[in-house]
Structure 1
Amino acid sequence: MTETRSFANAYERDQTAPLPSSYMMKFYFDELPEVIIQQSDILKGVSINVGDFLFIMSEDVVADPELPSGDFVLALHHTKLYDGRSLYAIAKYDFNLLAEHETERWDEDFLFILYIGVGYLVLILMALWFYSYRVGKKSAALVDWAEQISTDNLSSERPDFHFNEYNRVATCLEQSLKRNAALMEREKKFLSHASHELRTPIAIIRANMEILERMDIPESALGSLSRVERASTNMQLITETLLWLGRKNETAPAEYQVNLPQLLQQLIDDHTYLIQGECVEVIHDYETAPDEMLPATPLMIVLNNLIRNAFQYTHKGWIKVTYQSGTIIVENYDMDLVNDREVVSFGLGLELTQKVCSRLHWNLDINYSDGGVKAALQLPVS
């Protein structure tokens, strides 16, 4: 650039100024010269814009590397003189002219740059590893805290996970558990209050039923009186179930010797009225069931709900109650439910039964099908 500017200034003062030339650099007017390497003009067809540089390496233009040509670099520059003429400057750098210590310096500079690049890459990898390690550690801490948090320890202080996103996730989880705890508390209060409120009218109904039974009433009213009595019995059982679920006392229920065949037969007989006039076949196979020490009250609540649910939602089909290896199976199949796709529930009985079994940690497996429900209760035998 300095040589080009010096000649441009001299040419502007005197257009007859000769083109400068040296061992490494030469100048040319208007067009590029011929540069013959191995009998080939390496600048043939080369174009360069005004103000640009062009570098040509020897290995890019030498057709046969085995022929002697020397390692070189051509540096070309194109500029415009004040009168519009083109001026080309060509410098040829021959690597064979470099001394050994000069090439060693180039190698040292290259190694220095290489070391810097490798060191920078190592620092980046260490930073990424440290960040991943820290994120993984905080993620594990968040998972551990989420597994331990429950409605019983919501009052404890939430740890700081040092990441805003993790703290927000923990806050959302904590708030969700608090809302669920509030909903559960309201549900328990509602069940308790509703159950207590229902006990009084049920007691009045049953007391008046006893009075009516002692009176002489016409036979035409006996059917209605029997239906009222059965309805009040079911209401009483549901109310007792709700009260038992609403209790905060977690003491285990008392166990008694239970005759399973007699209990199952009694519950089936109590609910036979639900299928009177219906085309329903009742199948039972529990005669071999042994007498066991069982929590009698919750067991009767669960079995009563399962059997009543099967009888209540079967109008054309069959009901099967069986005992197999410590498991009582209550299954119903109704052709009307197969054809009626709008049936989406099987009553309050199953929901209450699941809550009772969940509280007592009993194994109750309920499978829904197009035509009914199959419930299998594993007896909680000690």
Structure 2
Amino acid sequence: MPNPATKTLAQQLRWQLILAGIAFSIAILVSLTFITWRSVEFAADSVFKMEVHNLLKQIEHDPNLALPDDKTFQAYRDWDSIPPKLRQTFSLADIENNQVYENEFINKTGQNTYVSLVHLTDKNRQPLYFLSVYDVKETNEIVDSILSNLFTDALWLLIFIFFLLFCLVFWLLKRTNEPMKLLSDWAFKLRDNDHLSKEEFPIAELNDLAAQLKAGVDRITEYNIREQQFLKHASHEMRTPLATIQACLDTLDFQLTGPEKKTVQRALKASSNMNRLSSALLWLARESEKPIEKTKVELKSFCSHQIEEHQYLLKHRDIAIDAKVDDECIDLEEELLLIVFANLLRNACQFTSQGTIKVSMDVASLRIENPVDDGLNDSVSSYQSFGLGLQLVSRICEKLNWSFCFKEHPHYVEVSVTWKKY
């Protein structure tokens, strides 16, 4: 079952690009604000300097030119001529030539005022002091207007960027999904046809991935073929000695009449079980989907016979078997049902130290419950810990489309096989 938190490549790319676009937009907005603020300051200083240098040329051309002394722009030939209110906002010792200095002070009317000062010398090396005076409120209104226009322009710019980002995301996802879809379709076909030739994809990395996937499938296929061949050969090889053992035991069973006869009969039962197991392994190893022949199975007699067959596992042990079986007859693969039932019951007997094993069987399912000690919980945490028995049950159920379920409870273990679904 896939992890709910797992996202597709398209989803991951979409969110990554959107987050990148948001971060990029914020960076643009901050940068524009900073650049605009610096540009306003630079423009104000540049205009002030242009005005100052233009006036300086006029003064050099006409030394007797009257210096301006209006509300916003003033010029003085010596430091002491500057009004004290303006002069005290600067320190003469810190002033350098052709540099703009800015300060803020409160004028006579009580309003905050910006004052800028530039010190220059004319061609006769006579000092000149130029001052630009502006009301703080008016200046801030101008700056706010500029910033407002900036934010409006930035908003349109961000909308344009998001539109481009949306188009880019759509294009990238489409371009990314096309080869991934080809790889997914090819891998899906590979599941049903392991001899499918490797397809050439437009992206080199996908070709590498497809090659590794094909190599992995080929290895698994080769392993499965070897396993099937081994099971076939092993099952065939077991048939001859099993047939010999069965014949010898039949002869002994016919000849013996004393207590030894019971031992021979147990050996006969074990030999029959081995024959059935060999047939089941051979059937599981076949690639053919030909169904096993079904026969009439009387549930009560079938269950009673199997419980009787396993009574030897309960000798000298405080264990009882409680069976509840429907008195019905069903069409089922009896040989395979026998292997399934025998393995489940044998495991229940082996892993029960004391108590009652509950067996219930009806026309649709088989269920076996057996108590377990707390110390055995680790050993029954997975049906794989039981070895070949339950793995064989699982494989048989899988091939017959039966449902096999193993559940571990605090004080008992429950296994069930369902062959009929309503």
What TM bracket, shorter-length normalisation?
0.5 to 0.7
SS of the equivalent of 2:379 reads: coil
Unaligned segments of structure 1, at least 5 residues: 9-16, 81-85, 98-102
In 1: Cα distance, 2:292 partner to 2:400 partner: 9
Q: Which residue of 226, 229, 238 maps to 1:198? A: 238
CA contact (8 A) 2:366 2:416 kept: yes
Residue in structure 1 matched with residue 419 of structure 2 by the alignment: 379
Residue in structure 1 matched with residue 372 of structure 2 by the alignment: 334
SS of the equivalent of 1:251 reads: coil
Q: Which residue of 354, 359, 366 maps to 2:394? A: 354
Given residue 210 of structure 1, which amino acid in structure 2 is its aligned partner?
Answer: D
Q: What percent of counterpart residues are identical?
A: 23
In 1: Cα distance, 2:120 partner to 2:210 partner: 68
Given residue 192 of structure 2, which amino acid in structure 1 is its aligned partner?
Answer: D
Residue in structure 1 matched with residue 33 of structure 2 by the alignment: none
Given residue 292 of structure 1, which amino acid in structure 2 is its aligned partner?
Answer: I
Say if 1:75 and 1:332 are closer, same or farther in 2 by CA, change over 3 A. Answer: same
- How far off is 1:248 after superposition? 0.7
- How far off is 1:264 after superposition? 1.3
Q: Which residue of 124, 131, 139 maps to 2:161? A: 124
CA contact (8 A) 1:151 1:178 kept: no
CA contact (8 A) 2:253 2:261 kept: no
CA contact (8 A) 1:289 1:323 kept: no
Residue in structure 2 matched with residue 368 of structure 1 by the alignment: 408
Say if 1:44 and 1:30 are closer, same or farther in 2 by CA, change over 3 A. Answer: closer
In 1: Cα distance, 2:283 partner to 2:364 partner: 25
SS of the equivalent of 2:352 reads: coil
SS of the equivalent of 2:359 reads: strand
SS of the equivalent of 1:380 reads: coil
- How far off is 1:365 after superposition? 2.0
In 1: Cα distance, 2:107 partner to 2:79 partner: 28
1:323 aligns with 2:361: yes
Residue in structure 1 matched with residue 291 of structure 2 by the alignment: 252
CA contact (8 A) 2:246 2:271 kept: yes
Deviations 1:324-351 (A, max 9, x none): 573221121233xx32455242332211
Residue in structure 2 matched with residue 14 of structure 1 by the alignment: none
CA contact (8 A) 2:402 2:418 kept: yes
In 2: Cα distance, 1:267 partner to 1:117 partner: 84
Residue in structure 1 matched with residue 319 of structure 2 by the alignment: 280
Say if 1:214 and 1:4 are closer, same or farther in 2 by CA, change over 3 A. Answer: same
Root-mean-square deviation over aligned CA pairs = 5.0
In 2: Cα distance, 1:330 partner to 1:129 partner: 60
Say if 1:365 and 1:340 are closer, same or farther in 2 by CA, change over 3 A. Answer: closer
- How far off is 1:136 after superposition? 4.7
Say if 1:131 and 1:194 are closer, same or farther in 2 by CA, change over 3 A. Answer: farther
Could you say which structure has the higher helix fraction?
Answer: 2
Q: How does 1:207-222 map to 2 (within 5 A)?
A: 207-216=247-256, 219=259, 221-222=260-261
Given residue 302 of structure 2, which amino acid in structure 1 is its aligned partner?
Answer: L
Deviations 1:182-231 (A, max 9, x none): 44334333333332333333223222222332344863x44543443333
Deviations 1:343-365 (A, max 9, x none): 24233221111111112211222
CA contact (8 A) 2:372 2:413 kept: no
- How far off is 1:175 after superposition? 5.2
- How far off is 1:30 after superposition? 8.3
Deviations 1:250-290 (A, max 9, x none): 1222222221111111211122222222211110111x342
Residue in structure 1 matched with residue 339 of structure 2 by the alignment: 301
Deviations 1:126-169 (A, max 9, x none): 332234334555459847927835532452555748695x7776
In 2: Cα distance, 1:372 partner to 1:209 partner: 39
- How far off is 1:74 after superposition? 4.1
Unaligned segments of structure 2, at least 5 residues: 1-48, 57-62, 122-126
In 1: Cα distance, 2:390 partner to 2:375 partner: 22
Residue in structure 1 matched with residue 7 of structure 2 by the alignment: none
Residue in structure 2 matched with residue 261 of structure 1 by the alignment: 300
In 1: Cα distance, 2:164 partner to 2:204 partner: 17
Q: How does 1:53-68 map to 2 (within 5 A)?
A: 53=100
In 1: Cα distance, 2:305 partner to 2:95 partner: 107
1:91 aligns with 2:132: yes
In 2: Cα distance, 1:284 partner to 1:30 partner: 118
CA contact (8 A) 1:309 1:347 kept: no
Say if 1:311 and 1:36 are closer, same or farther in 2 by CA, change over 3 A. Answer: same
Say if 1:78 and 1:339 are closer, same or farther in 2 by CA, change over 3 A. Answer: farther
Q: How does 1:99-248 map to 2 (within 5 A)?
A: 117-118=154-155, 120-134=157-171, 136-137=173-174, 138=176, 142=180, 145=184, 148=188, 151-154=191-194, 155=196, 157=198, 160=201, 176-216=216-256, 219=259, 221-222=260-261, 224-248=263-287
> TM-score under structure 2 normalisation?
0.62
Say if 1:114 and 1:152 are closer, same or farther in 2 by CA, change over 3 A. Answer: same
CA contact (8 A) 2:111 2:135 kept: no
CA contact (8 A) 2:365 2:420 kept: no
Deviations 1:54-81 (A, max 9, x none): 556xxx86799xx7969x864445899x
- How far off is 1:242 after superposition? 1.4
SS of the equivalent of 1:278 reads: coil
In 2: Cα distance, 1:34 partner to 1:194 partner: 116
